[in-house]
Structure 1
Amino acid sequence: MHWKTLSSEYISNHIYFTARRDRCQRDDGAIIDPYFVVELPTSATALALTADNKVLMVRQYRHPIGEVILETPGGFIDPGEDFATGMKRELKEETGYAFENIEFVGRVAANPGVLNNYTELYLATGGIKQDSQQLDHNEEIEVVEISLDELTAMLMRQEIKQSLHVNCIFFALIKMGKLQFTG
C-alpha cells in the first residue's frame, strides 16, 4: 500500500508549524482530498542521569494543553545536525549539564496520521553541571532532580503526560535493565 501524492499546497510555512494540504490517490484509485500534513523537524529527548544517578526532568507550561507538566529534556534537531550532537546541545541548553554518554534507545513517530517527523530517544548518563541554562526566548523551564524510584512511581501513576517522553523513559529503563520482559 502506498499513496501517490497528486498535489501539495502549503497553507503555513513557519519553522515550528509548516502545514500542507495534499491531494492523494490510493492504490485502488480512490482520491483522498484533502489530506493535511504538519511538517516538523526531527526532535530528540533523553532520560538524563547525573553522575550521582539522579534523573533530570524539566517542568514547563505547555500552552496547547494549558498545563505545567514534567518532561524529559529535549527539543528539535537543527538542520544537518547529527541527532546525538543535537541531543547533547539540547541537554546543555535546557539543564546546564554536560553528559559523558549519550546512547540511542529508540525512534518513534508521535502521530504519523498528521505529523511527518520522528523523535529520537536517548539515555544520557554521567551528567555534570557545567553552566546555567541557555533557553530560547519562548522557554521557561525549571530543572527538577528526582530519583529513579520516584520516576518509576510517577510513570506507574501516569503522572508523566508527554507520550514521547514516556516512550523514552520506557526504552531507557529497559536499556538500563530496570524493566524486563519475558515470553
Structure 2
Amino acid sequence: MTKTVKDYIRAIHDFPHEGIIFRDVTTLFADARGFRMAVDQLLHAYAGQRIDKVVGLEARGFILGGAVAHQLSTGFVPIRKKGKLPGTVISEAYQLEYGEAVMEIHDDALAKGDKVLIVDDLLATGGTADAAIKLCKRLGAELVGCAFVIDLPELGGRKLLEDQGVTVEALCSFDGH
C-alpha cells in the first residue's frame, strides 16, 4: 500500500493538555520519503504561479517553508513570535484560546507587489495565519495563498482565511482538536 502524508503524522494524546490530540509532524520530517512527499505536494497547487517569497510561520513553518523556497529558487522570510527578530519589525496581535500573542516580521522583509506564499504545518483556528496575512499585506505584498500540511476543519481556520479571499491548501485533515 502506498503511504500518504497523513500516514507519517503521529498522534500524541493529551498534549499539551488533557483531551487534546497533538498532530506531530516531526515523524513526517524525520522520514526522507515522507518529508519530500510533503514538500512536493505543498508546491503542486502553485505550479506555474509567480512566487517571489515564501513566508514561514514559527517554528515548524520554517522547516517546511525553507524547503519550499529552496525548491522554488526563491527567498524565505520568517514570521516569528514577539521579541525574536533583531532589527526593526512590525507586529500583529492575535487571539489565543486564553489571551493574546504577537507575531512579527522585519519591516523590510517584503517589497510592495511581492507575490507571497505562506507555509505552516497546521491550520487550526487560523489566528496565526491571519496575523501573518495582515503583516504581509501591511508591507504591500500580494498573497498567492496559504499552504499547510494539516487542517483541523472543526476549528474554523480555513473558513476564516477563505472568507478573506485567501486560497488555502492542506495536504490532509483530522477530525477534532
Larger RCO, structure (CA 8 Å, separation 6 or more): 1
Higher relative strand content: 1
Higher relative helix content: 2
Over alpha carbons, which structure has the higher Rg?
1
TM-score normalised by length of structure 1: 0.29
